[in-house]
Structure 1
Amino acid sequence: MNKSNLFSKMLRNYFIIFSVIILLTAFLNPTQALTFRIIILAALFALAGNLTNLVYYSKKELSQKSRYIRKVIHFLLLEVVIVTLGNIIGQVSGVMQSTILALEVLLIRVLVVLIIWLIDRKTANDINKQLENMRTKRNE
């Protein structure tokens, strides 16, 4: 993936990740108010998690096998970065809390991938409709 394409996807993904974190925080802790600290922490975790997408940078087109390998590396790196950051800033401590955070990261990752897939599917469907319209107009 080239730099500009990667940057645009990372920018889009940042807002999706941030939104999912905020929504899950509100859903999982409905009695807790969304304070400025929580919002800043969500932004920090979203940024740290999103920076792991740099694993996908390549000057040439990646093979299918390379993409799968990078997806695995990305997920492992994501888990390590987020759990380490959580421990460094004191958000979590100990094995149990770190494990819960790792499971939350997995849940957030699944939701983000699902949302991105839905957005990309809608975009592809819109493009296909436009191409079909162009083809029918040309055949008339």
Structure 2
Amino acid sequence: MNAEELLKTMFRSFFIITAGIVISMYVFCLIFYPDASFTLYDIGGILLLAVISDLPYLLFYSGKELSKKQMYLRKSVHLPVLLAVVLYFAHLWDWVNLNSTKEVLVLLLLILIVYAIVFAITIYYDKKLADKLTHRLRERYRSQ
């Protein structure tokens, strides 16, 4: 993935990740901390975590087109890196108690759900772009 495509993907996913974090925090707090309230510090943390969660996309940067094998390898590295980063910052900011297995499992499940949503939306946009390019190529070759 070249730099331009990567930045577009990161920009688009930032907003999806931010919404996913907000929804995940709502669900998480509803389950474990129903009396919790959020401060400006927490909102800043959500935005910062969205940026930090976007950074592992840099694993997909390449000056040349990646093969399927290379892409799968990078995807298999991306998810554990993302999980580790989010879990680290969630613990650092006291959002999750690592001694509570239930909290950690629920947090990991919520992260995986947000990851799947971002992944699905990215595939949707890529397919939409591919269809658009295919349509334009067909029109071009029909007119010749």
2:74 match: 70
Displacement of 1:86 = 0.4
Please give the TM-score of this superposition, normalised by the length of structure 1: 0.79
Q: Deviations over 1:15-65 (max 9, x none)?
A: 222233335556775x98886455433322211111111112233433322
Aligned structure 1 segments of 4 or more residues deviating by more than 4 angstroms: 23-29, 31-38
Q: Which runs of 5+ in 1 are unaligned?
A: none
1:81 to 2:63 alignment: no
2:115 match: 109
Displacement of 1:3 = 2.8
Displacement of 1:82 = 0.4
Q: Classify the secondary structure of the residue corresponding to 2:95.
A: coil
Q: Whole-Å Cα distance in 2 between the matches of residues 75 and 134 of structure 1?
A: 40
* Among candidates 42, 48, 52, match of residue 44 of structure 1: 48
**Root-mean-square deviation (Å):** 2.6
1:14-33 aligned at under 5 Å gives the runs: 14-25=14-25
Please give the TM-score of this superposition, normalised by the length of structure 2: 0.77
Q: Which runs of 5+ in 2 are unaligned?
A: none
Which deviates the most, 80-89 or 33-42? 33-42
Answer 1 or 2: higher relative contact order, Cα 8 Å, separation at least 6.
Answer: 2
Q: Whole-Å Cα distance in 2 between the matches of residues 61 and 126 of structure 1?
A: 20
Q: Confirm or deny: 8 A CA contact 2:24 2:110 kept in the other structure.
A: no
Displacement of 1:4 = 3.2
Q: Whole-Å Cα distance in 1 between the matches of residues 12 and 73 of structure 2?
A: 23
Tell me the percent identity.
28
